[in-house]
Chains A and B, each alone.
Chain A
Amino acid sequence: MPKVELKGVSKRFGDVLALDSLSFSVDEGEYFCLLGPTGAGKTTTLKVISGLVKPDSGKVFIDGEDVTDSPPEERGASYMSQAFDLFPHLDVLSNVAYGPAIRGLNERKAEEVAVQFLRLVKLDERAESMPGELSGGMQQRLALARALCSGASLFLFDEPLASLDAKLRMELRAELKRMAKAQGATVIHVTHDQEEALMLADRLAVIRNGRLVQTGTPSDVYSNPKNIFVANFIGECNFLEVRVVKVKGERCMISTPDDTILEGVCNGLLEEGRRAVLAIRSEDIELSGGRNDIPNALQGTITDVRFLGYYDRVTLDLGFSKFVHKILRSEKLPLWLKIGERVKVFLPPESCIVYPYPEGGLLKELEVI
Chain B
Amino acid sequence: MPRLTVESLGKSYGRISALENATLQVEDGEYVVILGPSGCGKSTLLKCIAGITKSDTGSIWMGDRRIDGLPPEERGVGYVFQNVALFPHMSVWDNVVYSPRVRAVPAHVYRPIVFEMLDVVRLSVGLEQYPSSLSGGAAQKVSLTRCLVSGVELLLLDEPLSALDTRVRVQLRYELRRIVKEAKLTALHVTHDQEEAMAIADRIIVMNNARIVETGTPEELYLKPKELFTAQFLGEANLLKAKVVGLSPEGSILEIGGNVLRGPKLPEVRDAYCTVIVRPEFVNLNPSEGEIEGRVGKKSFAGSYFKLEVEVGNICLESKVSRKSVAASLKEGNKVRVRIMPENMIVFWP
Q: Please provide the chain A residues from 336 to 367 with a CB less than 8 Å away from any CB of chain B in the complex.
A: none
Residue ID in chain A nearest B279 by CB atoms: A310
Asked whether B281 lies within 8 Å of A329 as measured between CB atoms, the reply is yes
Complex contacts, A198 vs chain B, CB 8 Å: 301-303
| Contact between chains at A330 and B322 (CB < 8 Å) | yes
In the complex, chain B residues whose CB is within 8 Å of the CB of A281: 304
Is there an interface contact between B304 and A328, defined as CB atoms closer than 8 Å? Answer: yes
> Cβ of B152 < 8 Å from any Cβ of A?
no
Which of B38, B167, B194, B217 is the most central at the interface, judged by chain A CB atoms within 10 Å of its CB?
B167
Bound together, the chains give a CA A369 to CA B193 distance in angstroms of 19
Inside 8 A of B322's CB, which chain A residues have their CB? 283, 328, 330-331
What is the bound-complex CA distance between A317 and B267, given in angstroms? 44
Distance between B57 CB and nearest chain A CB, rounded to angstroms: 27
Q: Pick out which of these stretches binds chain A: B15-23, B66-74, B231-239, B329-337.
A: B231-239
Q: Mark B287-310, 1 if CB is under 8 A from A, else 0.
A: 000000000000011111101000
A283, closest chain B residue (CB): B304
Within 8 Å by CB of B281, from A167, A219, A310, lies A310
CB distance from A138 to the nearest CB of B (A): 12
Contact at A235–B304, with CB atoms within 8 Å? yes
> With the chains together, A195 CA to B192 CA distance in Å?
17
Judge whether A218 is part of the interface by a CB distance below 8 angstroms. Answer: yes
Instruction: Tell me the nearest residue of chain B to A363, going by C-beta.
Output: B124
Among A135, A283, A307, the one with the most B-chain Cβ atoms within 10 Å of its Cβ is A307
Q: What is the bound-complex CA distance between A193 and B193, given in angstroms?
A: 14
Q: Which residue of A lies closest to B300 (CB)?
A: A199
A309 touches B282 (CB 8 A): no
When distances are taken between beta carbons in the complex, the residues of chain A under 8 Å from B279 are 310, 329
B264 CB within 8 Å of chain A: no
Which of A135, A199, A282, A369 meets B304, CB within 8 Å? A282
Quick check: is A38 within 8 A (CB to CB) of the other chain? yes
The answer to whether B37 touches A165 (Cβ under 8 A) is yes
Q: Which of chain A's residues 286-309 have a Cβ closer than 8 Å to chain B?
A: 306-309
Contact B171 A369 (CB under 8 A): yes
Q: How far is the CA of A345 from the CA of B217 in the complex (A)?
A: 29
Give every chain A residue within 8 A of B137 (Cβ-Cβ): 368-369
Q: Are A218 and B165 in contact (CB under 8 A)?
A: no
In the bound complex, do residue A330 and residue B321 qualify as a contact, i.e. CB atoms below 8 Å apart? yes
Complex CA–CA separation, A233 to B167 (angstroms) = 7
C-alpha gap A236/B342 in the complex (Å) = 32
B27 interface residue (CB < 8 Å to A): no
Do A368 and B323 touch (CB < 8 A)?
no
CB contact between A166 and one of B193, B284, B304 (< 8 Å): that residue: B193
Within 8 A of A (CB), among B177-200: 192-196, 198-199
A330 near B222 (CB under 8 angstroms)?
A: no
A307 & B192 in contact (Cβ 8 Å cutoff) = no
The one of A37, A218, A309, A331 that contacts B301, using a Cβ cutoff of 8 Å: A218
B282 touches A193 (CB 8 A): no
B59-94 contacts to A (CB < 8 Å): none
Counting CB contacts under 8 A, is A313 at the interface?
yes
Task: List the A side residues contacting B280 at CB < 8 Å.
Answer: 310
10 additional A-B pairs beyond A135-B39, A165-B192, A310-B305, beta carbons within 8 Å, are: A165-B37, A166-B195, A167-B194, A168-B37, A198-B303, A199-B301, A222-B303, A283-B305, A283-B323, A330-B320
Q: What are 24 A-B pairs with beta-carbon distances under 8 A?
A: A166-B192, A166-B195, A195-B166, A195-B302, A198-B302, A198-B303, A199-B300, A218-B301, A283-B323, A283-B324, A306-B218, A307-B217, A307-B218, A309-B198, A309-B218, A310-B320, A311-B304, A313-B199, A326-B304, A328-B281, A328-B320, A369-B135, A369-B137, A369-B138
